[in-house]
Amino acid sequence: MKLLGALGLLIFGMRTMSDALQKMAGPQLRHMLSRMTTNRLTGMLTGTMVTCAVQSSSATTVMTVSFVAAGLLTLGQAISVIMGANIGTTLTAWIMSLGYNVDLTNIVFPAFVAGILLIYRKRHRYVGDFLFGIAFMFWSLVMLSSAGKELDLEHNKAVVAFFASFDTSSHLTILAFLGIGTLITCIVQSSAAVMAITILLCSTGVLPIHLGIALVMGENIGTTATANLAAMGAGLEARRAALAHLLFNVVGVVWVLCVFYPFVNGVCRIVGYDATAGGQAERLPVVLAMFHTCFNVTNTLLLIGLIPQLERAVRWLLPQKPDSDKDNQYLQYIQAGPMATPEIAVLQAQKETALFAERMRDMFLTVERQMSEEDNKAFEACRESIEREEGIADAMEHAIGRYLEAVSNDHLSDQTKQKIRQMMREVGELESIGDACYKLSRTLARQRETEINFTTTQDNRLKQMTALTKEALNEMCKVMHGHRNEHDIRETYRIENEANLLRNKLKSENIQAVNNHEYDYTTGTLYIDLICEMERLCDYIVNTVEARFGK
């Protein structure tokens, strides 16, 4: 029970530490992943650095899969990051091997004290969470080492006889233990836990080094299950990225199996351990950590030049379905529930919201076409298109809103919570733009039914207001796609102010024109309804841009 409790504490500690680091450096990690992947080498180095920072290759891989789903990384870039994540995760094995050779209790308890003090100081609570996570992780390693000594497995004849019964020179035995390592990692969803068990068994001297290495190879395959599960409900490119992670590790295991014994002996020589003589159980954790590093580094060096071929392979294994109707897929980046990393899920929602803004701009362009259309069939086609788009806008608002609500249920940083609130406001305002376009279309239809014709002056004034509204929509789309510091909100305010002044001027001109009998009251009412609705649409645009700027 002490052993199981220590394993549970290890998984909890690593999860707490990883989550705290992602919350502390969420935006920085996102920017690093999205910007530092210009080529294979930088992508690989980025994956290594991020994984070393968050101490979880699963977190990095899920982040990467989320980026692919959000359209921020190409499949090739994602594969290079995943390769780096495999190298970065080897640091965990070194930390664990250190825990079996060094007394870490001197670090653990001061870390707990410092952590709880920082947690109560809300400003630094994520730093406190990180210290708590690392303290739990080190404490669990101390407990595992202690439990291993208390089990005294090296003097348990039944256990020694059980492991001695396996033929370590047989590839079938190696394959069996590889399968066991894969299965256990898939079940517990933690490669760190399997690594800890392997190091524990090897450090007691009961598990031969070759079988321990086979378990580590299985753990390398099993750890890919997390990303594949996270990508199941995502888009095709995200599933391909997760499959590439599995394929990369499987290819690595296959070539290592072909040169298994020479490779293991080479690693043992680096550490100064004689695999044939046995003994020196205290050096086995270092051998495992060294093998883990050599395997992942060598595998990456061999395959980094074959990323295009790996990309083609996953595209062949997961082809685009020819009968998929993209026109019916209103959401391009959000395919299902939120990904396993909430901080990154927000990026998908941001991309989807920017796409929503573009859709509303296109909807207004259809209104503009309807306004100038003389042919009745073409006019009716525009009206039907706008009516259909208004229903899609409602569906998109609800879908994005539900997605953000699901993301907000997780533990998030204050910055991410603020972004979610802003986006909920954005989608509400964007849906209002769709409603305004629909009202404009209905007013134009009413004009066509009553056979009312506007004067040349009215047509010119409507074109003026339409041009201002279109300019405001274009500016909104620029803001939604870029970073806030790249744009100036004053440009949107300027356009909206011009629209207000023009509306007020046209309302006064309309009253005077009706009084002068230039056109009748009904014509003036329809005309001003169109003008006021476009000005109201500009107000919704301002509200959307303000939400984007956090105002």
Amino acid at residue number 219: E
**Mean pLDDT calculated for residue range 492-511:** 91
Out of 68-77, 97-106, 473-482, give the one with best mean pLDDT: 473-482
What's the CA gap between 102 and 104, in Å, rounded? 6
User: Quick check: 368 pLDDT over 50?
Assistant: yes
The domain segmentation of the chain, as residue ranges, is 2-317, 342-548
**Mean pLDDT calculated for residue range 127-148:** 75
| CA 186 to chain centroid | 21
Q: What fold does the segment set 342-548 form as a domain?
A: Methane Monooxygenase Hydroxylase; Chain G, domain 1 (1.20.58)
User: Quick check: 26 pLDDT over 60?
Assistant: no
User: Quick check: 18 pLDDT over 80?
Assistant: no
Of 217, 197, 198, which is closest to residue 260 (Cα–Cα)?
217
Q: What pLDDT was estimated at residue 503?
A: 92
User: Quick check: 457 pLDDT over 50?
Assistant: yes
Q: What pLDDT was estimated at residue 319?
A: 82
Q: What pLDDT was estimated at residue 286?
A: 82
Of 32-41, 303-312, 318-327, 483-492, the least confident: 318-327
Q: What pLDDT was estimated at residue 237?
A: 73
**Mean pLDDT rounded to a whole number for the chain:** 80
- Model pTM score: 0.61
Is pLDDT larger for residue 463 or for residue 415?
A: 463
Q: What pLDDT was estimated at residue 340?
A: 47
Contact 492, 539 (CB under 8 A): no
Amino acid at residue number 464: Q
Angle 414-449/342-372 helices, nearest 10 degrees?
A: 20
What's the CA gap between 39 and 37, in Å, rounded? 5
Report DSSP letters for 294-349, one per residue.
Answer: HHHHHHHHHHGGGHHHHHHHHHHHSPPPTT--GGG---SS--SSPPS-HHHHHHHH
Q: What pLDDT was estimated at residue 36?
A: 58
**Mean pLDDT calculated for residue range 356-385:** 90
What's the CA gap between 419 and 414, in Å, rounded? 9
DSSP letter (8 states) at residue 410: S
Q: What pLDDT was estimated at residue 542?
A: 93
What's the CA gap between 292 and 249, in Å, rounded? 12
Is pLDDT larger for residue 203 or for residue 367?
A: 367
Contact 345, 67 (CB under 8 A): no
Confidence of residue 328 (pLDDT cuts 50, 70, 90): very low
- The CA radius of gyration of the chain, in Å to the nearest whole number, is 31
* 3-class secondary structure, 458: helix
Of 255-269, 273-287, 449-463, the least confident: 273-287
Q: Count the Cβ atoms, other than its own, within 10 Å of residue 102.
A: 13
Question: pLDDT digit string (tens) for 44-94?
Answer: 887 787 777 666 666 677 667 766 766 667 778 888 888 888 888 777 777
Q: What pLDDT was estimated at residue 162?
A: 72
* 3-class secondary structure, 190: coil
Q: What pLDDT was estimated at residue 435?
A: 93
